[in-house]
């Protein structure tokens, strides 16, 4: 397995790194970032995964998420993967649309040609990258949390729901809560998985809750000034489903906030503190 350090910078007494490796899951080179806070020699630290949204790479949250001070104070490793495979031979949307293909992997294992060869983001996030983090960083893989934004919020919710016990806490900013019921999701799941909507349920948090999956706890922040709220995100579907099945959740509708990293960075430290309480509980 190849593992390359692209860059490392000191920040808040820890190290912000960017790394590259060849992925067996996607068949491509993949780049990700990791922040390791200051810690005693030999100490292992809990891990928080951050899954990014449409059009993003690892760089968006790394550069704009304002998480390092909180991670340094709380003793959290922060991992930010890419959102899709990239490189020569990786198929993209025919019209180069932003909501499918490169930058829009939707954290699924594609089954429809030609995307099934490389678009294996579920395997990459759930299996391959955790092994790399465990091998190269002082990570306590018994204490993992997961969070994400928009498409990445969808990823965090569904990955956690499908893997009971793996993540001690789950949170999201502006998640796509039900890809079965929004244009982004219908395009992505139809393109990656085909027309059988029954196969889509494994990638829909509302459907997973309806089918019996549960989380220990859930925190969601959604901006009320988000242009995508009514047409794509449909937070009310998650609120209603959590209430219907008794899923414990704090879903906060935040007046004045939009879909941007101005919103995410405002509440990032609160989310990390919430995760730290559960990771150290």
List the catalytic residues: 150, 226, 259
Q: How far is CA 235 from the centre of its chain?
A: 17
59, 159 contact by CB (below 8 A) = no
DSSP label at residue 233? I
DSSP string computed for 117-170: TT-BHHHIIIIIHHHHHHHHS-EEEEEEEEEEETHHHHHHHHHHHHSTTT-SEE
β-pairing, 4-11 with 14-22?
A: antiparallel
108, 99 contact by CB (below 8 A) = no
| Cα angle 92, 82, 12; round to 5 | 155
Secondary structure percentages of the chain, helix, strand, coil, to 5? 35, 25, 40
What stretches of the chain adopt beta strand conformation (E)? 4-11, 14-22, 29-36, 45-51, 77-80, 139-149, 169-173, 219-223, 250-254
Neighbour-count burial for 227-252, b at 16+ CB within 10 Å, e otherwise: ebbeebbbbebbbebbeeeebebebe
246 φ, ψ to 5°?
Answer: 75, 25
């Amino acid at each position: 397995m190849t593992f390359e350090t692209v860059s490392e910078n000191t920040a808040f007494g820890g190290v912000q790194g960017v790394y590259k490796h060849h992925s067996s899951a996607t068949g491509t080179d993949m780049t990700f970032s990791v922040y390791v806070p200051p810690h005693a020699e030999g100490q292992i630290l809990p891990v928080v995964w951050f899954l990014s949204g449409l059009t993003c790479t690892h760089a968006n949250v790394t550069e704009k998420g304002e998480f390092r001070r909180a991670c340094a104070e709380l003793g959290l490793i922060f991992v930010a993967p890419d959102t899709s495979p990239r490189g020569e031979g990786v198929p993209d949307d025919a019209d180069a649309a932003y909501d499918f293909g490169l930058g829009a992997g939707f954290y699924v294992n594609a089954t429809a040609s030609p995307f099934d060869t490389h678009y294996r983001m579920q395997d990459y996030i759930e299996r391959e990258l955790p092994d790399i983090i465990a091998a190269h960083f002082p990570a306590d893989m018994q204490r993992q949390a997961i969070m994400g934004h928009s498409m990445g919020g969808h990823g965090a919710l569904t990955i956690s729901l499908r893997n009971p016990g793996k993540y001690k806490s789950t949170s999201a900013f502006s998640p796509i809560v039900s890809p079965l019921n929004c244009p982004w999701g219908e395009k992505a799941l139809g393109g990656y998985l085909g027309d059988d909507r029954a196969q889509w349920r494994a990638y829909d948090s509302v459907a997973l809750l309806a089918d019996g999956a549960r989380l220990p706890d859930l925190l969601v922040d959604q901006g009320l000034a988000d242009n995508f709220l009514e047409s794509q995100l449909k937070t009310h579907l998650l609120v209603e489903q959590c209430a219907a099945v008794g899923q414990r959740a704090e879903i906060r509708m935040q007046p004045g906030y939009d879909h941007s990293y101005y919103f995410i960075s405002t509440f990032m430290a609160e989310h990390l503190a919430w995760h730290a309480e559960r990771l150290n509980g």
